[in-house]
Every structure is written in C-alpha cells, then in structure tokens.
C-alpha cells in the first residue's frame, strides 16, 4: 500500500535524524499526525482495489453479453414485423 510505504519511509527518516529520547516523543506525534492525515484521504488497500477491479471486469462481461442478447432480440423482432407487414402468399 502506497500510504503505508510513505508512512514507513517518513517514520524511518525521522528515526534516523532524531535518535535521542525527546526525539521518540516527536516521532510518536508525527506518526499520529500522519496516520490521521492518511485516514482522511479515503485510501483503499491493494486487496480492496483488486476485488473491485474483478467485480468491474465481471460486470463488463455481463453487460457485453446482455447487449448482444438485446441486439439479437431486436433483430428477430424487426424481422417478425417485416414479415407481418409484407405477407407472402404460398400459392
């Protein structure tokens, strides 16, 4: 997850710069601020994204099949209407 990597990277850099005791408090506060900021971004996990991507692909397949079915029904109906309008004698 991009947000987690960014969060870990920033936390790591802060830990490198400030290795002293008061620095731990600052790191803790920065971590809390970053977590709150990421929570407001409405981010999704990779797993959630992939699930939605699969649902969308399945929906597209269904839509394509339904469009083909409707087109076939419309063509059949148009043929039936044409036959009814122009009846041919078998004599």
> What tens digit of pLDDT does each residue of 39-76 get?
888 888 899 999 999 999 999 999 999 999 999 999 99
Q: Which of 11, 38, 40, 6 has its CA nearest to residue 26?
A: 11
- CA–CA distance, 31 with 41 (Å, rounded to integer): 16
Residues 31 and 51 in one domain: no
Length of the chain: 91
Stated pTM of the model: 0.51
Residues 19 and 53 in one domain: no
pLDDT tens digits for range 16-28: 766 656 767 788 8
Residues 53 and 88 in one domain: yes
Residues 57 and 79 in one domain: yes
Angle value at C-alpha 6, between 3 and 12, nearest 5 degrees:
140
Q: State the pLDDT at residue 51.
A: 98
CB-CB contact of 43 with 7 (8 Å) = no
């Amino acid at each position: 997850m991009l947000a987690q990597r960014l969060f870990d990277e920033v936390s790591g850099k802060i830990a490198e710069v400030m290795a002293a005791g008061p620095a731990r408090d600052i790191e803790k506060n920065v971590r809390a601020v970053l977590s709150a900021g990421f929570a407001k971004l409405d981010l999704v996990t990779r797993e959630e994204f992939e699930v939605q991507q699969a649902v969308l692909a399945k929906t597209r397949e269904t839509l394509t099949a339904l469009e083909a079915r409707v087109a076939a029904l419309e063509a059949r109906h148009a043929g039936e209407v044409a036959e009814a309008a122009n009846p041919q004698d078998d004599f």
